Amino acid sequence: MPLSLSALKSLNDILARLSAKPIVAPMDRKPNTPLRRGWTTGACATAATRAALMMLWGEARPDKVRITLPRGERPVFAVTEAEQGIGWAEAAVIKDAGDDPDVTHGALIRARVEASAGGVEFAAGEGVGTVTKPGLPIAVGEPAINPVPRQMMRGTVEEMAARLGRRPDIRITVSVPGGAALAEKTWNPRLGIKGGLSILGTTGIVRPFSCSAWIASIHRGVDVARAEGQHHVAGCTGATSEQVVQRLYDLPAGAMLDMGDFVGGMLKYIAKHPVKRVTVGGGIGKITKLAQGARDLHSGRSQVDFDLLARWLDDDRMRHCNTALQAYEIAGIKMSEIVATKALEQVQTMLPASSMADIVVIDRAGNILARAEGAA
């Protein structure tokens, strides 16, 4: 049954107090794979920002820079361009998506830095889009630089300013030459991001996109969990939902499955190799697609049916929404509870009667929007 609003608030308060508890990153427990990882546009923009700041603040022109990713990894990036003038400097790195067929693989990610009026400011240069519709994690009118890349770049400015005795008042302009054309191959135009690409990433790392390889790694994760005697496993769509679910249920690393978008592949395997309890966690958008019957939650292979959402909620405003997040902002907990309940129904159809299932729906900040629990 869905939780009440007061219960959700209490639960989010508890999770906030537990936020210092360490979480084992999926990369620390995934089996080895021959596929090569890559770096997000957000990680590349952060590396370019660091290189440009080094020149602006009097250090030598770098050939390479090292940055710290959100989970503590410290990759090195080659600096392919570096220029400076009076009061400004800019640098660029080439985006390496590893073995992922990413549309931005090989693109030049450039950052220009100069003094700001106060604090860290962000601007969209050539090939970086601007948000024009509500429902995204960035406000309308802002450059399409997502929250985690902003945090990474801001953290770089603050760390270097403290080390070099400078004021952390910097304007960062991110550019991707040719980005406007590349963006036409993405969902950006439909989402109302005009003029170019988004600067993305939550972990800084691009995992190679291979359905068979990824699903095989999920299968191995289930096998390992069962071998370890885990009776409760969880599959999540991303890093934020994984952290929330792991803290919520106090699950060990071995119980966390790197599900990603492949909820169908995970549940089909668990149906043949059952465990007592299965939790599926994810953001409101992906869980809405699951609730509507999608088994692959990737944005290129399934989308939210806003007409169906309008019928569920008896609310025609849903038909005009751009994203599931926007729908939630309009309809609130009624929407998230219906989504959680219907997602639970979908999951239960794929599992044996002996397995209990539950759903956890979160927002981008890691707050729980709804939960639904079944019975074994």
Q: What is the pLDDT of residue 310?
A: 97
Question: What values do phi and psi take at 53, rounded to 5?
Answer: -65, -35
Tokens standing for residue 187: 């969902």
Question: What is the average per-residue pLDDT within 4-26?
Answer: 49
Nearest by Cα to 240 from 71, 14, 13: 71
Are 153 and 109 in contact, with CB atoms under 8 Å apart? no
d(CA 17, CA 9): 13
Q: What is the mean pLDDT of residues 333-349?
A: 97
Q: What is the pLDDT of residues 177-209, one digit of tens each?
A: 999 999 988 778 877 899 999 999 888 988 765
Residue in the structure block whose two tokens are 């966690």? 281
Domains present along the chain, CATH in parentheses: 5-35+210-373 (no CATH), 38-206 (3.30.2110.10)
Q: Tell me the pLDDT tens digit for each residue of 102-135.
A: 789 899 999 999 999 999 999 999 999 999 888 7
The two tokens of residue 375 are: 């019975």
CB 9 within 8 A of CB 333: no
Q: pLDDT (tens digit, 9 = 90+) per residue, 258-274?
A: 899 999 999 999 999 99
Secondary element (H or E) of residue 241: helix 239-249
Instruction: Express each pLDDT in 81-90 by its tens digit.
Output: 999 999 999 9
CA-to-CA distance for 140 and 134, rounded, in angstroms?
6
- In Å, how far are 167, 168, 172 from 156, measured between CA atoms? 13, 10, 11
> Residue 65 in 3-state DSSP?
strand
CA distance 138 to 322: 14
Residues in the chain: 376
